[in-house]
């Protein structure tokens, strides 16, 4: 009785193992004792194109402004911009949401991870410093304040 159960489990396992080699093919190997069928299946698997891997962007670009997420560098039209860590995170968030109005509340929640909204000018101070660095002399402003609403990052027109 016990040997019958072991044999049934073994046969089921062989069938499952052989069937698991079946990747998007209509037929399946039903017995692991057929080495030619398994070799054929493995050969077909090797012929499949490589799996597509999702690649995330490592460089964000909005007009002439580039932000390298790996090197943690910023440039505008070839001019290097030195950013502090918080300024980098703020600019990254703004570039990921360019052409959208970002409220102070949104920035406090997403960049500073505040779960409450303090009565502070924290965003305004950082935004002023970032604007000064990104909007260099004789360059069209990219970061703009929308009075009473928030901030927006736009490609210069």
CA 8 to CA 40: how far, in whole Å?
26
Using only the alpha carbons of the chain, give its radius of gyration: 29
What is the rounded distance in angstroms from the CA atom of residue 127 to the CA atom of residue 53? 36
Q: How many C-beta atoms lie closer than 10 Å to residue 106's C-beta? A: 16
CATH T-level assignment (fold) for domain 59-153: Arc Repressor Mutant, subunit A (1.10.10)
Q: Sketch the domain layout of the chain as residue ranges.
A: 2-47, 59-153
Question: What is the rounded average pLDDT for all residues in the chain?
Answer: 81
Model pLDDT, residue 44: 78
The values of phi and psi at residue 102, to 5°, are -110, 120
Question: To which residue do tokens 């959208």 refer?
Answer: 100
In tens, the pLDDT along 24-68 reads 444 555 555 677 777 777 777 777 777 665 666 799 999 999 999
Round to whole Å and give the CA distance between 134 and 79.
10
- pLDDT single digits (tens) 84-96: 999 999 999 999 9
- The alpha carbon torsion through 34, 37, 41, 44 (nearest 10 deg) reads 150
Dig out the tokens for 52 from the structure.
């597509």
Per residue in 119-129, pLDDT tens? 889 999 999 99
86 vs 67: CA distance, rounded Å:
14
Residue 136 pLDDT: 86
Give pTM, 2 decimals: 0.64
Give the per-residue pLDDT at 30: 55
Q: For residue 87, which of 132, 56, 144 has the smallest C-alpha distance?
A: 132
CA 140 to each of CA 12, 17, 91, 109, 112: distance values in angstroms, whole numbers, following the listed order = 70, 64, 17, 29, 28
């Amino acid at each position: 009785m016990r040997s019958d159960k072991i044999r049934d489990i073994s046969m089921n396992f062989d069938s499952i193992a052989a069937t698991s080699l079946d990747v998007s093919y209509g037929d399946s190997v039903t017995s692991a004792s057929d080495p030619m069928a398994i070799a054929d299946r493995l050969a077909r698997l090797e012929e499949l194109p490589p799996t597509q891997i999702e690649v995330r962007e490592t460089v964000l670009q909005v007009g002439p402004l580039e932000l390298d997420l790996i090197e943690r560098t910023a440039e505008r039209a070839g001019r290097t911009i030195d950013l502090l860590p918080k300024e980098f995170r703020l600019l990254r968030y703004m570039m990921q949401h360019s052409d959208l109005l970002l409220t102070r509340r949104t920035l406090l929640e997403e960049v500073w991870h505040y779960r409450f909204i303090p009565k502070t000018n924290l965003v305004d101070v950082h935004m002023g410093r970032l604007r000064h660095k990104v909007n260099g002399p004789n360059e069209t402003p990219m970061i703009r304040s929308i009075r009473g609403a928030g901030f927006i990052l736009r490609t210069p027109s």
